[in-house]
Amino acid sequence: MAAVDLTTHPGHLARRLQQAHYLLWNTMVSEETTSPQYAVLNTLVAEPGLDQRTVGERVGLDRSTVAEVVGRLDRRGLIDKVRDPQDGRRSLLRPTDEGVRVHRRLGVRTARMNQVFLAPLAPEERTVFFDLIRRVADAAEGLRNPVEPTAAPG
């Protein structure tokens, strides 16, 4: 079998995008707070008092990953976990004052990083880019048991 053109493989391109994002994140945003940690913190700033499962759903993290991220943010004092008075088995999460400050600082840096990351695209192309990758990402979250692809909507 002949070699394939990896530029037509979405997984290969997604990995390359992730590598570029990781490099920019570490150099422009934070070496201490990861992008998934920022996503969780961002969700809790927007909606304080969510439980861990809901936070994971909001940011697209599986149960074990969100547990690890929440644990790290808690150990750093960026979020508080309090028992849900209606269900003692679950915790409700809120950003601490320090968590809100970190979120604000990283938000400014993230905006700058996104400008660099998206610089190759014209403003109107960015809208199309986001729409397309969001559609693929949303569909991919539902693929627990992959099936043959169906025709694209036309």
What does pTM read for this prediction? 0.85
Q: Which CATH architecture has domain 31-140?
A: Orthogonal Bundle (1.10)
Task: Provide the pLDDT confidence category of residue 141 given band limits of 50, 70 and 90.
Answer: confident
Task: Report pLDDT for 137.
Answer: 87
Kindly tell me if the per-residue pLDDT of 153 is higher than 80: no
Which residues lie below 8 Å from residue 70, measured CB to CB, with a gap of 6+?
40, 52, 55, 79, 81, 93
Query: Taking the CB of residue 41, how many other CB atoms lie within 10 A of it?
Result: 25
- Residue-range domain boundaries for the chain: 31-140
* 65-122 residue pLDDT tens: 999 999 999 999 999 999 988 888 888 999 999 999 999 999 999 999 999 999 999 9
Between helices 35-46 and 97-117, what is the axis angle to 10°? 120
Burial label for 39, CB within 10 Å (0-12, 13-18, 19+), is middle
* 11-48 residue pLDDT tens: 999 999 999 999 999 999 999 999 999 999 999 999 99
Kindly tell me if the per-residue pLDDT of 5 is higher than 70: yes
